[in-house]
C-alpha cells in the first residue's frame, strides 16, 4: 500500500492542509510541537477511524474551537486506487462521524464499520496489527521487547495470521468440552431410565390386573340384580301416583265448577240490573218526547199557520217548503234592499255632485262680476285720461295757431296784422318755413358790413400813425413827408389832408356801425322767428302723437266696455245655471227620503221573516230530537230483549254445571285413595334403600376400575421407558464418537500452529539476525536466538546470554527496530508468496541513537527500500536522515493562527539544513 495524498481540515493542529506523498523514503521534519506526529496519526485515523485513537475520543481529533473536521486519504494498494473520506461533527460536547466513505475501484462502501472491515481485509491487518507491524509510534520503540513472552506471542501470531489457528483450536476444545458436558448428562439420564425399567418389571403388573378384573365382573352382576328390583318398585309407585293424581284432578274440577256457577249467577243478576236501568231510561225518554210535542204545539199555535201539530214526515216537508218560500222571499227582499241602497247611494252622490257644481258656478259668477267691476273702474280712469288728453290737444292747437300767426302768411289764419306789434318791419316779413334761408342772407350781409368796417378801422389806424409821425417830425422841425427840414418843404400841408381823410373815414365807420346794429336787431328777430318755427314743428309732432294716442285709447275703452258687458252677462248665466242645479239637488234629496222609507219597510219585513223561519226550524229540530229519542227507546228495547235471551242461555248452562258437580261429588271414593297413599309410601321407602345400596356398589366398582386403570397406565409407562432407554443409549453412542472427533480436531489445530510458527520463527530468527547485524555492527554480540515461544535471547561473543531488557537504551531501540523490520519483511515476503504491505512508518526512531548508529539506521531504511518496501515515512530532524530522503515534508506552525502547515521540499533542502 502507498499513501498518495492526504487532505485535512481542522484535524487537531491542522487547519487546511493538503499533501501529496511519493514512493520511496519521505522524511517529515519540523520543530517540536509543529504537528509531525499528528500527520502520521492522521494517516492511521483515515484508515481505521476511532480504532486508531486508543483511549481518546473523536472530539479530541477536532481542532479545539472548531466543530467540524474532515480527513481524506488517497492510496494505492496492489495497483488499485482507493479513497477514504471521514467527516466529524461536534454535537453538544460529543463528536460523531457524519460521513465515512471508502471508494474502491469496484464500489463505494459507506459506514464506519463496513469501511473498517474492508480496510482490515484489504491490508490483512486490524488497527492493532498495524501499530505492531507497520507503524512504530513515538516512544513505542521498546514495545515488543517490554512485552511478556505470551503477549509477544499473541502479537506476532496475530501478525503472522496464526492467531486464527489458535482460535480454531480453542473453538475445537470448547466444542469437545461442550460434547463432554452433554454426554455426561445423557449418561446420567441413561442410568436413571434403566433403574426405572428394572423397578417396574419387578412389580408383577399383569397378575394384579387379572385379579382386579375378576372382582369387578362379580360386582357388576350384583348391581344388575338390584337395578331390576328397583324398577319394580318404581312401577308400583307410578300406579299409586296415578290414582292420587286422578283424585286431585276431580277435586280441582269440582272447585272450577263451583267458581263457574258462582260467576254465572252473579252475571245473571248483573244483566238483570242492566235491564232495569234500560227500562228507566226508556221511561225518561218518553217523557222528554211528550214535553217536546207540547213545545212544538205551542210554537205552531203562535205561528197561526196551516200545519198539523200531529207532525209526520209529510208535515216536515210542508214546513221545509214554507221555510224555502220564506227564504226565497227574504232573498228577494235582500236583492231589493241592495237595489234601494244602491239607488240611495247613486242619488246621494248625484245630489252632492249637483250641489258642488252649483257652488262652483256661483264662485265663477262671483269671479266674473268681480272682473266686470274691475273693468268698470278702469273704464272710469280711461275716460278721465281721454278728457285730459283732449284738453291737452286743444291747448297744443291754440299755441300752434298763435305761433303761426307771427309769420307772413300767418294772416291767412284770419287774425289780421293789426295784432302785429309796431316793431316788426314789413320788409322783414317771412313766410313760415323760410326763416332759415332768410337768416343766411342776413348773416352774409352782416359779414360784409363787418368786413368793411374792419377795413376802415385799419385805414383809420394807418392814418392815425401817419398823423402821429408827421406831428413828431413837425415838432422836430422836419418835413412830415420827407423828413427834411421844414423850411422850404413843399409837404407841410399834407398833415391837414390826412386829418380830413381821417374824419371821412370815421364817418364812414359810424355808418357801418349803425348798419351792423340794424342787421343785428333784424337777425335777432329772425332768430326768434326761427325759434317759433321749430317750436311749431315740435308742437305739431306732439299734437299728432297725442291725437294718435287718444284714438288708440278710445278704441281700447270701447273694447273694454264690451268685455265688461260680456262678463256681466256671463255672471248672470252662471247664476241661473247654479240655481237650476240646486233645484235638481233639492228634488233628489226628497226622492232619497222617500227611498229611505221603503228601506225601513223592507228591513221590517225581513226581521219578521227571520223570526218565522227560526220558529219553523225549531219545530223541525224538535221533530228530529223526538225521532232520535224514539230511536234510542227502540235500541234499549232491543238490548233488553238481547239481555233476556243471554240470561236464559246462562240459566241453561248453570243447570248443566250443577248436574256435573253433583255427578263428580258422588263419584269421589275415599278408600281407594287411602290404599294408593300407602302403596306410594312403601315404594318410596324401598327405592331410597335400594338407591343407597346401588351407590355403594357403584363406588366399589369405580374404585376397582380406577385401580385397573392405574395398573394399565403403569404398563404403558414401562413400555415408554423401554423406548426411551433405546433412544438414550443410541444418543450416548453418537456423542462418544463426536467427542473423539473434537479431540482430534483440537490436537490437529495445535500441532498445525506450532508447526507453522516453527517455520516462521526460523525465518524470523534469520531475518532478525541479518537486520541486527546490519544496524549494530559491533563486536560484542554474536547473534540472537528466537525460540518457538518467541523467547528472545542475545548471545555475546563470549557465549554469555543476555535478556534483551539488559541491553542499553540505544541498543534496545536498534534491537526493536531490527525486530520490527524483520517482522515486516517476513510479512512482506509472505508465507505464501509476496503480499502488498502498508507503508513503513517510523516516528522519531533516532531519539536514543548516537550519530554513528544513525548512519546504521539510514542504511537499515535504505536496505528496506532496496528490499522493495514501496513507501517509507520517517519523522526525524536528524540531518543525516534528511540527507537520505527521496523527498521531504516540512511541518511548520503558524505563529499567529497556531495552525500547522505542510510544505514539500526537495532534497536540495538538505544543503540548507546541513548549513544550519
Ligand atoms: N485537538 C487539537 N486542536 C488543536 N491543537 C491540537 C489538538 N490536539 C493536539 N494539538 C496540538 O498539536 C500540536 C502538534 O503535536 P504533535 O505531537 O504532532 O507535534 P510534533 O511535531 O510531533 O512534536 P515533537 O517533535 O515534539 O514530537 C501540539 O502542540 C498540540 O498542542
Ligand atoms: Zn422832405
Instruction: Tell me how far apart the alpha carbons of residues 279 and 271 are, in angstroms, rounded to a whole number.
Output: 12
For residue 99, give the H/E element and its range.
strand 94-103
Ligand nearest to the CA of 470: 2
- Tell me the pTM: 0.44
- Judged by DSSP in three states, 837 sits in coil
> Ligand 1 centroid vs 33 CA: distance in angstroms?
5
Closest residue by CA, ligand 1 atom 23? 33
797 is in an annotated binding site: no
Q: What is the pLDDT of residue 68?
A: 94
Q: Is the Cβ–Cβ distance between 657 and 260 less than 8 Å?
A: yes
At 179-236, the pLDDT tens digits run: 888 888 888 888 998 888 888 888 788 888 888 888 888 888 888 888 888 888 898 8
The torsion angles phi and psi of 591, rounded to 5 degrees, stand at -60, -50
HSE-up of 617 (CA within 13 Å, CB side)? 9
Q: What is the pLDDT of residue 655?
A: 93
Instruction: Tell me how far apart the alpha carbons of residues 410 and 776 are, in angstroms, rounded to a whole number.
Output: 193
At 378-412, the pLDDT tens digits run: 999 989 989 998 999 999 999 999 888 888 765 43
* pLDDT greater at residue 9 or residue 802: 9
pLDDT above 70 (res 613): yes
Q: What is the pLDDT of residue 314?
A: 65
Closest residue by CA, ligand 1 atom 2? 12
- Name the CATH superfamily housing domain 1-134+837-916: P-loop containing nucleotide triphosphate hydrolases (3.40.50.300)
Average pLDDT, the chain: 86
* pLDDT greater at residue 808 or residue 684: 684
63 is in an annotated binding site: no
Instruction: Tell me how far apart the alpha carbons of residues 871 and 886 are, in angstroms, rounded to a whole number.
Output: 10
At 749-800, the pLDDT tens digits run: 888 888 888 888 888 888 888 888 887 777 678 888 888 777 888 888 888 8
Q: What is the pLDDT of residue 419?
A: 42
Ligand nearest to the CA of 484: 2
> Ligand 2 centroid vs 484 CA: distance in angstroms?
4
Closest residue by CA, ligand 1 atom 5? 13
Q: What is the pLDDT of residue 280?
A: 94
Q: pLDDT band at residue 304, thresholds of 50, 70 and 90?
A: low
Ligand nearest to the CA of 486: 2
- For 201, 405, 408, 436, the CA distances from 433, given in Å and listed in that order, are 205, 13, 10, 7
pLDDT above 70 (res 907): no
Q: pLDDT band at residue 13, thresholds of 50, 70 and 90?
A: very high
Instruction: Tell me how far apart the alpha carbons of residues 210 and 707 are, in angstroms, rounded to a whole number.
Output: 11
* Average pLDDT for 572-582: 93
Instruction: Tell me how far apart the alpha carbons of residues 556 and 82 are, in angstroms, rounded to a whole number.
Output: 141
> Is the confidence metric ipTM above 0.90 for this complex?
yes
pLDDT above 90 (res 262): yes
33 close to ligand 1 (CB < 6 Angstrom)? yes
* Average pLDDT for 572-596: 93
Q: What is the pLDDT of residue 427?
A: 53
Q: What is the pLDDT of residue 335?
A: 93
Least confident of 173-177, 261-265, 558-562, 631-635: 173-177
Ligand 1 pocket test target in 6, 12, 39 with most atoms within 8 Å of CB: 12
Ligand 1 pocket test target in 14, 29, 30, 36 with most atoms within 8 Å of CB: 36
Least confident of 396-410, 605-619, 890-904: 396-410
63 close to ligand 1 (CB < 6 Angstrom)? yes
* Average pLDDT for 262-281: 93
> Ligand 1 centroid vs 97 CA: distance in angstroms?
22
For the chain, give the percent of residues with pLDDT over 70. Answer: 93
Instruction: Tell me how far apart the alpha carbons of residues 20 and 75 are, in angstroms, rounded to a whole number.
Output: 10
Q: pLDDT band at residue 422, thresholds of 50, 70 and 90?
A: very low
Q: What is the pLDDT of residue 434?
A: 86
Q: What is the pLDDT of residue 827?
A: 81
Q: What is the pLDDT of residue 88?
A: 94
Instruction: Tell me how far apart the alpha carbons of residues 589 and 611 are, in angstroms, rounded to a whole number.
Output: 34
C-alpha cell, 262: 258462582
For the chain, give the percent of residues with pLDDT over 90. Answer: 39
At 797-833, the pLDDT tens digits run: 888 888 888 888 788 888 888 888 888 888 877 655 5
Q: pLDDT band at residue 141, thresholds of 50, 70 and 90?
A: low
Instruction: Tell me how far apart the alpha carbons of residues 527 and 446 are, in angstroms, rounded to a whole number.
Output: 14
Indicate the burial class of 127 (C-beta count within 10 angstroms; 0-12, 13-18, 19 or more). buried
pLDDT above 50 (res 487): yes
Q: What is the pLDDT of residue 276?
A: 94
Least confident of 593-607, 637-651, 818-832: 818-832
Q: What is the pLDDT of residue 411?
A: 44
Rg of the Cα atoms in the chain: 90
* pLDDT greater at residue 85 or residue 205: 85
C-alpha cell, 89: 461533527
- The closest alpha carbon to 875, from 901, 835, 847, 907, belongs to 847
For residue 151, give the H/E element and its range.
helix 149-159
pLDDT above 80 (res 669): no
Amino acid at each position: 500500500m502507498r499513501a498518495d495524498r492526504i487532505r485535512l481540515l481542522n484535524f487537531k493542529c491542522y487547519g487546511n492542509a493538503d499533501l501529496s506523498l511519493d514512493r520511496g523514503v519521505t522524511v517529515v521534519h519540523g520543530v517540536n510541537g509543529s504537528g509531525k506526529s499528528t500527520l502520521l496519526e492522521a494517516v492511521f485515523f483515515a484508515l481505521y477511524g476511532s480504532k486508531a485513537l486508543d483511549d481518546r475520543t473523536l472530539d479530541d481529533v477536532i481542532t479545539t474551537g472548531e466543530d467540524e473536521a474532515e480527513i481524506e486519504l488517497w492510496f494505492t494498494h496492489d495497483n488499485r486506487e482507493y479513497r477514504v473520506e471521514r467527516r466529524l461533527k461536534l454535537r453538544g460536547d460529543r463528536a460523531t462521524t457524519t460521513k465515512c466513505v471508502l471508494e474502491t475501484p469496484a464500489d463505494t462502501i459507506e459506514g464506519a464499520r463496513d469501511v473498517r472491515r474492508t480496510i482490515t481485509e484489504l491490508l490483512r491487518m486490524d488497527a492493532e496489527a498495524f501499530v505492531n507491524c507497520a507503524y512504530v509510534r513515538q516512544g513505542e520503540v521498546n514495545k515488543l521487547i517490554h512485552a511478556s513472552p505470551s503477549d509477544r506471542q499473541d502479537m506476532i501470531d496475530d501478525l503472522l495470521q496464526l492467531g486464527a489457528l489458535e482460535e480454531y483450536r480453542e473453538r475445537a476444545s470448547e466444542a469437545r468440552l461442550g460434547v463432554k458436558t452433554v454426554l455426561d448428562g445423557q449418561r446420567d439420564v441413561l442410568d436413571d431410565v434403566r433403574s426405572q425399567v428394572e423397578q417396574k418389571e419387578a412389580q408383577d403388573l399383569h397378575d394384579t390386573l387379572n385379579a382386579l378384573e375378576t372382582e369387578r365382573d362379580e360386582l357388576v352382576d350384583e348391581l344388575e340384580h338390584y337395578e331390576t328390583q328397583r324398577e319394580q318398585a318404581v312401577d308400583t309407585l307410578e300406579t299409586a301416583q296415578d290414582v292420587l293424581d286422578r283424585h286431585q284432578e276431580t277435586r280441582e274440577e269440582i272447585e272450577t265448577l263451583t267458581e263457574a256457577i258462582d260467576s254465572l249467577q252473579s252475571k245473571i243478576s248483573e244483566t238483570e240490573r242492566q235491564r232495569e236501568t234500560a227500562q228507566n231510561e226508556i221511561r225518561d225518554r218518553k217523557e222528554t218526547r211528550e214535553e217536546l210535542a207540547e213545545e212544538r204545539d205551542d210554537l205552531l199555535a203562535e205561528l197561526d199557520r196551516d200545519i198539523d201539530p200531529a207532525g209526520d214526515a209529510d208535515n216536515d216537508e210542508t214546513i221545509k217548503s214554507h221555510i224555502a218560500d220564506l227564504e226565497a222571499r227574504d232573498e228577494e227582499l235582500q236583492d231589493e234592499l241592495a237595489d234601494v241602497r244602491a239607488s240611495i247611494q247613486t242619488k246621494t252622490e248625484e245630489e252632492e255632485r249637483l250641489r258642488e257644481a252649483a257652488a262652483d258656478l256661483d264662485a265663477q259668477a262671483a269671479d266674473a262680476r268681480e272682473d266686470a267691476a274691475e273693468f268698470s273702474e278702469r273704464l272710469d280712469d280711461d275716460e278721465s285720461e281721454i278728457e285730459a288728453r283732449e284738453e291737452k290737444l286743444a291747448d297744443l292747437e291754440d299755441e300752434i295757431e298763435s305761433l303761426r300767426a307771427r309769420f307772413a302768411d300767418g294772416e291767412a289764419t284770419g287774425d289780421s296784422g293789426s295784432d302785429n306789434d309796431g316793431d316788426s318791419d314789413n320788409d322783414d316779413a317771412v313766410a313760415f318755413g323760410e326763416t332759415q334761408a332768410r337768416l343766411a342772407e342776413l348773416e352774409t350781409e352782416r359779414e360784409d358790413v363787418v368786413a368793411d368796417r374792419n377795413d376802415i378801422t385799419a385805414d383809420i389806424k394807418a392814418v392815425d400813425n401817419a398823423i402821429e409821425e408827421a406831428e413828431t417830425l413837425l415838432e422836430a422841425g422836419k418835413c412830415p413827408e420827407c423828413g427834411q427840414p421844414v423850411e422850404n418843404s413843399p409837404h407841410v400841408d399834407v398833415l391837414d389832408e390826412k386829418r380830413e381823410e381821417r374824419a371821412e373815414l370815421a364817418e364812414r365807420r359810424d355808418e357801418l356801425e349803425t348798419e351792423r346794429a340794424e342787421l343785428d336787431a333784424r337777425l335777432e328777430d329772425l332768430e326768434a322767428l326761427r325759434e317759433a318755427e321749430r317750436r311749431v314743428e315740435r308742437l305739431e309732432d306732439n299734437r299728432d302723437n297725442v291725437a294718435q294716442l287718444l284714438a288708440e285709447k278710445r278704441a281700447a275703452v270701447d273694447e273694454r266696455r264690451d268685455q265688461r258687458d260680456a262678463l256681466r252677462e256671463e255672471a248672470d248665466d252662471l247664476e241661473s245655471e247654479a240655481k237650476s242645479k240646486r233645484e235638481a239637488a233639492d228634488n233628489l234629496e226628497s226622492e232619497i227620503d222617500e227611498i229611505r222609507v221603503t228601506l225601513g219597510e223592507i228591513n221590517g219585513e225581513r226581521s219578521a221573516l227571520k223570526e218565522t223561519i227560526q220558529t219553523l226550524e225549531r219545530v223541525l229540530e224538535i221533530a228530529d230530537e223526538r225521532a232520535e229519542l224514539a230511536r234510542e227507546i227502540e235500541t234499549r228495547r232491543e238490548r233488553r230483549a238481547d239481555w233476556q235471551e243471554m240470561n236464559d242461555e246462562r240459566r241453561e248452562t248453570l243447570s248443566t254445571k250443577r248436574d256435573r258437580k253433583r255427578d263428580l261429588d258422588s263419584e269421589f271414593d275415599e278408600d281407594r285413595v287411602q290404599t294408593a297413599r300407602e302403596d306410594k309410601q312403601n315404594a318410596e321407602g324401598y327405592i331410597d334403600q335400594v338407591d343407597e345400596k346401588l351407590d355403594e356398589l357403584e363406588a366399589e366398582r369405580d374404585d376397582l376400575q380406577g385401580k385397573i386403570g392405574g395398573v394399565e397406565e403403569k404398563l404403558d409407562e414401562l413400555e415408554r421407558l423401554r423406548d426411551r432407554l433405546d433412544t438414550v443409549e443410541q444418543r450416548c453412542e453418537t456423542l462418544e464418537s463426536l467427542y473423539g472427533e473434537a479431540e482430534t480436531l483440537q490436537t490437529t489445530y495445535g500441532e498445525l500452529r506450532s508447526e507453522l510458527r516453527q517455520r516462521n520463527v526460523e525465518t524470523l530468527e534469520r531475518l532478525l539476525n541479518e537486520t541486527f547485524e546490519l544496524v549494530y555492527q559491533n563486536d560484542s554480540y554474536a547473534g540472537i536466538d528466537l525460540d518457538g515461544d518467541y523467547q528472545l535471547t542475545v548471545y555475546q561473543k563470549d557465549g554469555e546470554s543476555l535478556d534483551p531488557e539488559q541491553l542499553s537504551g540505544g541498543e534496545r531501540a536498534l534491537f526493536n527496530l531490527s525486530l520490527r523490520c524483520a517482522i515486516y519483511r517476513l510479512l512482506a515476503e509472505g508465507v505464501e508468496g509476496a503480499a502488498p504491505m502498508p507503508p513503513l512508518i517510523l516516528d522519531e526512531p533516532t531519539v536514543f541513537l548516537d550519530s554513528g548508529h544513525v548512519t546504521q539506521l539510514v542504511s537499515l531504511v535504505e536496505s528496506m527500500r532496496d528490499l522493495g518496501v514501496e513507501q517509507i515515512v520517517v519523522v526525524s530532524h536528524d540531518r543525516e536522515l534528511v540527507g537520505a530522503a527521496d523527498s521531504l515534508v516540512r511541518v511548520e506552525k503558524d505563529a499567529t493562527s497556531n495552525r500547522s502547515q505542510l510544505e514539500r521540499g526537495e532534497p536540495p533542502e538538505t544543503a540548507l539544513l546541513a548549513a544550519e
